[in-house]
Structure 1
Amino acid sequence: MPEVKSAYAPGTPCWVDLMAKDQQAALDFYRDLFGWQGEVGPAEFGGYAMCTLNGKPVAGIMAAMAPEGQPEPPTVWTTYLASDDAEATQQAITEHGGTVMYPVMDVGTVGRMLVAADPTGAVFGVWQPLDFFGAQIVNEPGALTWNEINTTDTAATGSFYEQAAGLRPDTVEGVPDYYSLNAGERSVGGMQLLPDYLPPGTPPHWMTYFSVDDCDSVVDALVRAGGSVLRPPFDMAAGRMAVVQDPQGAVFSVIAAPAAP
């Protein structure tokens, strides 16, 4: 089991969470799809639910809450990038053309966070760990395995994340028009132009990928549970994947790694 036992390197996607109109329905859906366990959390943390797999935290689910007079936020998965200093990252975001949506705030004793948008409008979070560093299981069926920015401008977007978060873009051999995002020498995420299989008008965004053991059967289960398919299962370099929506409209991808030879 690929357990993570120490803090993620700065810039690395370290956590994902879902904001859903019906929090309990989302908890039930992902429990059945991925085997997660989770329940509505304490009121002082807005009911935030920490979802676990085999007893280890893998993702969060919260109820969508609109500030007074504002429209209800969309149902989306948010990717959080690790930071050693949330205040410094916030300053770098604004200095390089990003927009801070929710400035740095303390989350009890577990960490500090902010939410921002890059210059193309893609929303992401930043997490500075204190007592909690992020996902403790990755790259296992039911757990986070990849995060990818789908954008309208790879050059500008790559430059922003390098300057604001320390993620260095690089080409990927044999995969034209796809870029890796590297924390140090390690590839920790990807970047590409918005793919044409997404609905027209889809804005730039971070895509969350969850590992599964059988892409086709998971997609079938998702459809039976009220989800929908944006791109049916297909084979690609990293395995067999599909792009889907949960019943409340949150988009994510599932991928099954190739079988070992």
Structure 2
Amino acid sequence: MPNTLIFVDMPADDPAAAARFYAEVFGWQNDEKPAGVYHRMVPGGQFKNPDGSDSAIGNLHLGIFAAANARPHPEPAGVAPRDLASDGRKPRIWILISDDDSADRILAAAEERGATILWRNHYWSTFNGYNHAFQDPWGNEILLWGKAGADPQVPADFTRE
């Protein structure tokens, strides 16, 4: 049996504000554990079976932790570093766009709340998806994934690879 990825955490210097951002942009539930220290973002729903029905597997959650004192840690006061990473590559978080939502709506909502649009309108043939990206106000890179389908009709203004 493989080891299973169950959670991804990202840092913020204000986890409560970051949690509000993601609740407003994606409609996720903000589960404070406790408020301002650690927030679990719960998208709800289940992974789909090949026939489109819900499986027994719940969608993954995203954690937002205080960079100044990342929890859990054996030391109550945490350890350095205590600030957000600023230079170089960081992990990227991929979000599948719901069939009843759109990249345009998500990007506009993110930008209205302080995000920077990194790029939009790109087709990645290797995984057959439409991609867009933004950087949240805490420096985390979020990539949006739209399903292209069995016979993708890539718009003329999309870049391709």
TM-score range, shorter chain: 0.5 to 0.7
- One-letter amino acid of the structure 1 residue matched with residue 2 of structure 2: A
Q: TM-score of the superposition, structure 1-length normalised?
A: 0.41
Distance verdict in 2 for CA 1:71–1:58, change over 3 Å: closer
Q: Distance in 1 between matches of 2:104 and 2:150?
A: 18
Q: CA deviation at 1:230?
A: 1.7
Are the equivalent residues in 2 in contact too, given 1:240–1:258 (CA < 8 A)? yes
Aligned to 2:73: none
Are the equivalent residues in 2 in contact too, given 1:75–1:248 (CA < 8 A)? no
Aligned to 1:61: 64
Distance verdict in 2 for CA 1:54–1:254, change over 3 Å: same
Matches within 5 A, 1:1-261: 9-10=2-3, 12-42=4-34, 47-54=37-44, 58-66=61-69, 70-74=80-84, 202-203=88-89, 205-213=90-98, 214-237=102-125, 238-259=128-149
Q: Distance in 2 between matches of 1:42 and 1:68?
A: 16
Are the equivalent residues in 2 in contact too, given 1:29–1:225 (CA < 8 A)? yes
Corresponding pairs, count: 126
Q: Distance in 1 between matches of 2:133 and 2:147?
A: 15
Distance verdict in 2 for CA 1:75–1:25, change over 3 Å: farther
Distance verdict in 2 for CA 1:260–1:19, change over 3 Å: same
Distance verdict in 2 for CA 1:53–1:253, change over 3 Å: same
Structure 1 segments (4+ residues) deviating >6 Å: none
Q: CA deviation at 1:209?
A: 0.6
Are the equivalent residues in 1 in contact too, given 2:33–2:39 (CA < 8 A)? yes
Q: CA deviation at 1:69?
A: 8.2
Unmatched 5+ stretches in structure 1: 1-7, 77-200
Q: CA deviation at 1:28?
A: 0.5
Are the equivalent residues in 2 in contact too, given 1:215–1:242 (CA < 8 A)? yes
C-alpha RMSD of the superposition: 3.0
Q: Distance in 2 between matches of 1:69 and 1:16?
A: 20
Q: CA deviation at 1:25?
A: 0.6
Q: Distance in 2 between matches of 1:69 and 1:248?
A: 20
Q: Distance in 1 between matches of 2:113 and 2:130?
A: 21
Identity among equivalent positions (%) equals 26
